[in-house]
Structure 1
């Protein structure tokens, strides 16, 4: 499981999913693949 942890300085509230757009999902996917590659591609 890969997660992004962040704080918000603005007073407004929004759904967490609204902060993860298509570009960010792609970057998280790339990071996950690289992490698994460095581990020697264990079974997932």
Structure 2
């Protein structure tokens, strides 16, 4: 938790393959938004 400076639970973080935090949210989170963001990151990786 210290490495990514998390504050507690519930917390959602999406971390890229370089280990960088690309998204971080404390509290409730819409899973569909997470899927959309992951798909964007995958597209960046391919492009």
Given the two structures, how large is their TM-score scaled by the length of structure 1?
0.45
Given the two structures, how large is their TM-score scaled by the length of structure 2?
0.43
The structure with the greater share of residues assigned to strand is 2
Structure number, greater radius of gyration: 1
The structure with the greater share of residues assigned to helix is 1
